[in-house]
Structure 1
């Protein structure tokens, strides 16, 4: 789950003050910062969540091996999105929760792909733990962020993640088909919620009078 904050002053190559030297075009940090503050990056993360969710719902008879691969890829891709989004944070001290979350997603994805034949209980434990921690960290960000727009939407995403994590952890499934339907449903719900966050962030940028839809927006 990606959370965004209020419109921040422009930073990066296109936002130098008068007389200041522009940031080098090849500055990787500046590029990551611009990407992390873009509402389209949040939307990309939402799509990365929706696609595997839809695949699981339309293909419920997938074997445990296929399910583990789909979940692993989802976790890896989402971890990559969250890692880049960390650079969109305005304060360096606020990047730690997002960085921890990105590392958690990536490690969980590697674990799923490294051992795709693991048991259903193990796969449920991995996904449930990731969603629960993700929801808690997103909730923390929503509470402490001073200029968070559409706080209600972000809080809703956080609560949804926490509930999803608890449900998956508390209700162990007995078959790959049942787990596929459960994970697919939650991924679709989380993806739609994250898409709502992206659209809310886009609206916040327009309300602030930002002409460039890709202008910086801090995210975790």
Structure 2
């Protein structure tokens, strides 16, 4: 009767490539992948989407004010960087245009910080012009191309863009508040969907008795 050979030295733990052990994350990439497949991470993503949406819905005017301040700070910082960049140029002929552009950025930033509501109105005017022009171009294309697929849908979308552009141009401040509320509503709805996905993922993991899953649900990134 032959004796069963004992385990070879060093064979008490199965090793994978580069000394990795099964059941443990193989480096930062696998660790992050395991974290991304957990339902807690999906729930945290949902909360990160819900909270800004609720803030935008509860304080729309404050949100607009903060947005205008951030734009003003961005313009000031950009102007400062451009001014320093001008000083580093050796070509004398290229300094003047860059210097004027830097001063323009700084002045625009100061105006944004001094008059935030006018900044939002200006942004709304830009959005309105973009919608109006794009809608008119799309409308012209739909009318000129009789063999265009789904021509009726394209015509309807073009008319909707034209009407939206006219409304925004006529009421820039009110349109900005309405767009802000729509953004907040969209974030809240998206966050609620992610919460439902996270809870469903947790239930699926509990039913399978697994601590993780090989594939994360679609639409949670």
TM-score (norm 2): 0.41
TM-score (norm 1): 0.42
Larger relative contact order (C-alpha < 8 A, sep ≥ 6)?
1
